[in-house]
Structure 1
Amino acid sequence: MALGNSKSEEIEENLCEFSKEIYGECGILITSEPVESVREYIEKATVKDYARMKSIVTETVTIPAGIVSYGPEKGGQPISRTWENFFKKVELPIVIENNAICLQEDYTICKIGDSLSENQAHLLQKLGYKLALFKLTVTHCYDKTKKETFIF
């Protein structure tokens, strides 16, 4: 590892202790900013994202009867007719009227507490409903001035 796996390989004192904690999906942020300001920034930084299969839903999403439109994340524009086969595949009760895809009745994609199926997750993504939050979690810090590693 570039940080060093042993005392003889490390590029900064005690950095090999930090490198032992790095595994799986993770990232390294190198900054001269104070630890507390970085922690505060990261704790506040979230990005809305599409929920994945098996995610637990935090809100109910119902598409109203009538012309099928994109969700609020995509501006509410009507869906192209090219989506007809996809909607039929996921068994939405649609008809084509005036060259537009229309729902015959209100259709609930998911309800609060549901574990999303593959079709539900795919449908939410295609329609532009972002129900998940992407957030970073800081677990470790190396203080270069003190030459020590600590866990949050």
Structure 2
Amino acid sequence: MSEPTKYGPALLLPGEQIRITTNPNTEPFWEAAKEHRLTACQCANCGHFRMPPSAYCPECSSQDVNWPTLPGTGAVFSFVVCNKNPANGEDYVYVPVVVDLDGAPGARLNANVTGCNAEDVQIGMKVTVDWTGIQDGWVLPNFRKA
């Protein structure tokens, strides 16, 4: 007989409760996400990856950027288990994570994780991208246990 879980399955926040805003530095990321492509801002001059995207490279100050398509995998760098929906305060288990992105050294992405029980999430856990439709036709990258 298996042990009862403390929290239960890690859920994604409902997409209809999520709205984003974009700016010229972030819009390429969100446009790629609509196509289910995970990208990261990379300096076209020195190759440094930066997430969140910014107007200037912190390494060389260049404004030139590339948006390479990444493999859509990574590892959990940090996480927290939440048990209340931030939109309405109802009981709802979700796990915000910071993911080290494969193929983009130094780039990390904030997201949520699913595909496992919340108490099973751990630092270093391998994850793969999962796409969630949100408000205004945008798509949010989240992650699922690999």
Q: Which has the higher strand share?
A: 2
Smaller-chain TM-score bracket: under 0.3
Q: If the length of structure 2 is used for normalisation, what is the TM-score? A: 0.26
Higher relative contact order structure (alpha carbons within 8 Å, sequence separation ≥ 6): 1
> Higher Cα Rg: structure 1 or 2?
1
Q: Which has the higher helix share?
A: 1
